[in-house]
Structure 1
Amino acid sequence: MMISKTLLFIILFILPPPLKPAFLRFFCGAQVGRHVRIGWFTSLMGRQITLGDYSEIRALTLIRCDGAISLGRYALISSFNLVYGAAGLHVGEHSYIGPQSLINTEEDVRIGRWSALGARSMVYTHGSFLPFTEGYWVRFAPVTVGDYVWCAAGVFLQPGAEIGDNSFVNSRSVVGGSLPAGSIAEGNPAQIVGQMERMRRTMSPRRLDAAAAQMVRHFVDLVLKQNWGLKVEQQGSNLRMHYRGQAYQIMLAASHGDAPTIANDATRTIWLISRPAWRPTNSNHWLDLTQNQMTTDADPVYQELALFLKRYYGVQLEFVG
């Protein structure tokens, strides 16, 4: 069985990405959801494998666990990661493991929903090198990261680390014990230096409108103007440009005021919506910030805006339709 799993691991490593989900289903008995993506020269093997809808493992990542491996919907493991050990890895929906991270799973490692390990993080579930028979200590313990937890780049989680929900651990911190929910922690060893409730704003409808406007302005300045070299014209709250011969406009559907006017010309309109229970009737290009939803339309400007919101502002949208 070990030889068989090793061969499957090698074959999966060299297969082209489009073939990998089907290979896992048919040869490894994996439960693979819709639109799962596994990158070049990436492989994974475990006792049971569950990959949720739209989950992704990027190129040059190796995951070899004797226990179960599960990724929730929209979970993302980035490139150049190494995960190995006798137990399992469980990553919740919309969670993220940054590049060049090392995760040891001699005991289970569990990461909750909407949580992130930054680049070059390290997770160890055992601590041993010096001989136990000569009196040196050995420790084995699982590592648990709760929901809505952000561990910044270079965090080290030691055996037995537990981080409660809605917490932030600053870069280069070392966590070896328990951090209660709502903590802001940093240092070696990590100490609580604040509470998340003091850092987080209550988002009223008007604040959501302002956030949407700020994100669009940033997208226009950084992506459309600086990176793509487009000329963008502002007409009131509407932003107009041309890309690859197509006329576009980006419009905000704010939470207050009259319902937005929907144009009937050939201009392709991308809507950023903060208005509850409203959707455009003649467009598939909308991003609803009240429900965290978007369509699957492949328009390049639309997809680039969605990626920008995720990368720079942590706004993750689920596909509908």
Structure 2
Amino acid sequence: MFAIRPTSYGGRGCFATSEIPRGTLVHIATTPFTSVIFRDFRKEVCAYCFAYDLGRTWKVRLRGPETAGLWFCGEECRDRWVKEEDPSRELVPVLELIEQAVALARRKSQNSKVGEYDEDFVHEDFSFQSDAIDSLWKHIDGIVISASQLANPLRNPTLNNRVLALEDIEYDSARLVAVAIVRLYLDSHNTSVVPWFTWNGFCSLESHETDLINRLPALLESHIRVFIFLRAIMPNKFQPFVTTANVRAVLGREAANAFGIWQLPLSSESECLGSSIFPSGSYFNHSCDPNVMKTRIGRQMHFTTSRAVREDEELCISYGMMLTMPLQARQDLLQEQWYFGCRCGRCIAELGSEA
């Protein structure tokens, strides 16, 4: 029905291999490679089907002592999550470690009179250029490798309290990265029974780390703390995969490839409940005159043609609720959030009419 091919403007896109009628379901992204329900909503959003009932707290948890920060709208969703998302039983213990470490750090923070961090890794005069970012990450890598040689790495005076102290946004990032690291571990050991959980497929997506850090410089410090945290708490068998390169790979690709987990039915008043990465869905590029509509159904993303599509025509979606915006507002939003200037047919026509 469609093939992934290079586009004339750079990167790759989805192109129809034959005429496609309106209303045709062209693709289903079955489940995210990695996802996270934001901490503020984790008790109110089903970890499997992403159901959200206007703030109602779900009561169903995992069986046994490990809860892993997961809530479910019912036993069926819980059992399906265990069967489909963690058949290896490797993911739940890691998510539970994150919960325990964050809870412990917050109790310590409440009982401590000292500041949470003694010194930032990113100073005021930092240049935020790609080579400077690379150099800083190499420095962090050296610190963490040295600390890992200590009997208790938390005693390293350079790291101090930073290892376990995470803010909510960092907690969310840590869970997002941890899921991807577990997928990578399983992939490398040929034990992943889910074909769409491939690290190479995920890494084929474009990273926008530098663009993200330049737009939101404070995130670099947060990303470093997430890396240090995961190196401190991840079990030994995962440690070879908790590298600066892999953490950066996840967070850099999440920047421009993530699909928000939005409250349904979708409207301008909907809450964004979390973030998910569907590598196959990320090949649908943006157009301000899209011919494909994306719809979340449970934890799946469905892509359906909104009009008839010609053979060899690119299949495009809208990246956000912007289609009623004027030209410049759309351009500004796409540049700020997705780091490109749109040159779809609609934008080119509107630019020409303004000339």
TM-score range, shorter chain: under 0.3
TM-score, reference length from structure 1: 0.24
Which structure has more RCO (C-alpha within 8 Å, separation ≥ 6)?
2
TM-score, reference length from structure 2: 0.22
Structure ranking higher in helix proportion: 2
